[in-house]
A and B are shown apart, each in its own frame.
Chain A
Amino acid sequence: MSTKASRSAARLMLAPAVILLLAWMLVPLTMTLVFSFQRNLPLRGGFLEWVGFENYVRFVSSSAFWPAVQTTVVVVGGVLLITVVLGILLALLLDQQMWGQGVVRIMVIAPFFVMPTVTGLVWKNMFMDPNNGLLAYLWRFFGGDPVVWLSDVPVFSLILIVSWQWLPFATLILLTAMQSLDSDQLEAAEMDGAGTLSRFWHIILPHLSRAITIVILIQTIFLLAIFAKIFVTTQGSFGTRTLTYLIYQRVLESQNVGLGSAGGIYAVILANIFALFLMRIVGKNLDR
């Protein structure tokens, strides 16, 4: 795209996509912003009055706010830790030459294609059910008392379910990165006297650092918005109420659109802070 004519043609052809995308994002965002300054209770006739920043103050001063923030951080952090660590190990394993490589790789990636709602239901009913779940059978087989997963260790269970879904994503990206490592570098390190662990620590891990950053960035943004899995498993009880779920409850269970919208705006700001922060790290990595 070097000439003036081709540049303006390119702009013209990109325009519909850009306009559609902007409308898609800006209309709901603006509506949320407008609602957040209203006292808006659908059961009492919807819009009642403008209240300024009252909703914002009420949202953060509610007793449910800080526990929800804490749960969100624990869930996101836990899932990131599990997926990155296991993802690296799985990628190392899948990078080896083995029989049936293609089939194994597809099977490893499969959980990512299961819908979040289905994932939640499958785990709740097939694995974690205290009477008929597979894990309950496993516990009884070894003579233990079945764990009532979703009420005894609800946050851990949630982390487990979400990790199961996101592990394939992390594995896939890290495996691709691992395959781009020049094998000469590993051989040079071997000649230089580096053992298996040293090679992993000094050569493979630094090589993967950019991919790890990208995995963390993308996953964080998606994990902040987990909803379906909580909805079909615990409904936000037993301390699994994340920020996203709290917003949902404010709007639909309490029927308070204004308060929920204010929470929504907080979530948008939070996600952007994360994105900005992580983008800078990625940018720094790309400079190398």
Chain B
Amino acid sequence: MGQIVLDQVTKSFGDMTVIPPLDLTIEDGEFTVFVGPSGCGKSTLLRLIAGLEDVTSGSILIDGKESADIPPAKRGLAMVFQSYALYPHMTVRKNIAFPLRMANMSREEQDRRVQKAAEVLNLTDYLDRRPGQLSGGQRQRVAIGRAIVREPAAFLFDEPLSNLDAALRVGMRLEISELHNRLETTMIYVTHDQVEAMTMADRIVVLRAGHIEQVGTPLELYRNPRNLFVAGFIGSPKMNLLEGAMARKHNAHTIGIRPEHITVSTEEGEWSGVVGVSEHLGSDTFFHVHDTGLADSVTVRADGELDIRHGDRIYMTPRHERMHKFDEKGHRIA
């Protein structure tokens, strides 16, 4: 069980309001990702749920129980920190067993649970080492191990992968997703990386300056961004946002079209321009096209083996049904 409901939660530090009144429901078993640029309040929101910060007003219900005034340990949540926060003077075994020891669990039960967690996380060979002797990925797994032995109502992850190198991050992303599939426990995951959000989440919560901009499944956010901020934040590379004459032609203030929804040709098309930088990824190539008369630069995706170079003129045709329209305030026009 692990349903978490935030009802009119606010948080201020002195005169500065970090979280204006906010409502959110996280269903049991859901993998929810809080995503947004740095300083948007996503970590503060997580710490409010964890109980490491006190709410200024509003209530937090965990499994229907008012928890805003309950100390962190009693909320039945486990947290994985960005810095891992392992205890350096304890072995891996003692690190993982620490929450069980604090709960006065019997030695046999402690050993059994630690052994089980170590098997799940491939840590069996490292149980007697200290954190200082482990690699970044292994430390990350120990931190997760310390969280799962408690069998919490929900897991809280605070940017857990940002200290890892790129290859390891992709691997750990998979492992955490697999862990979620196996445990089916509620997980709340904070990140500034929209790729992590898109790949892992059941539901994404996009935050800006403490406000929820949009909540939805990754594909909902991708297909129907509610405003310009979400449109620009979700998707990689970023959506092209065009203003001016082209937008007016479509009765909008701004139109958005993703790089992957523009067809590229060397012969004919609706728009044309000169290729500036081209980024070859192998499977795909992204062209940054200038002199289109639409915007400074338009990004388009093309087949990876298309032979187009810097300075070539290309033609582009947008898929009109995939175009997004926004009004002056940046809201989506249906």
Contact = CB atoms under 8 A, between A and B. Distances in A.
Interface of A: 182, 184-185, 187-194, 198, 202-203, 206-207, 209, 288
Contacts of A190: 52, 71-73
Given A191-B73, A202-B87, 15 more contacts: A182-B83, A182-B85, A187-B79, A188-B146, A189-B87, A191-B51, A191-B77, A192-B98, A192-B99, A192-B102, A193-B73, A193-B102, A194-B73, A203-B87, A206-B89
A185 B90 CA distance: 12
B106 to A, nearest CB: 16
Interface string B131-174: 01000000000000010001000000000000000000000000
Contact of B102 (A194, A209, A288): A194
Nearest to A205: B89
Contacts of A194: 73, 98, 102
B103 A188 contact: no
B231 interface: no
B103 A288 contact: no
9 contacts: A185-B87, A188-B79, A188-B87, A190-B71, A191-B51, A191-B77, A192-B73, A209-B89, A288-B132
B234 interface: no
B103 A193 contact: yes
Interface in B78-133: 78-79, 81-83, 85-90, 98-99, 102-103, 130, 132
Contacts of B73: 190-194
B4 interface: no
Contacts of A191: 50-52, 72-73, 77-79, 99
B89 A185 contact: no
B102 A188 contact: no
A207 B85 contact: no
Interface string B51-82: 11000000000000000000111000111011
Nearest to B132: A288
Given A191-B73, A288-B130, A184 B85 contact: yes
Contacts of A288: 88-89, 130, 132
A78 B99 CA distance: 37
Of A182, A185, A193, chain B has the most CB atoms within 10 Å of the CB of A193
A242 B85 CA distance: 47
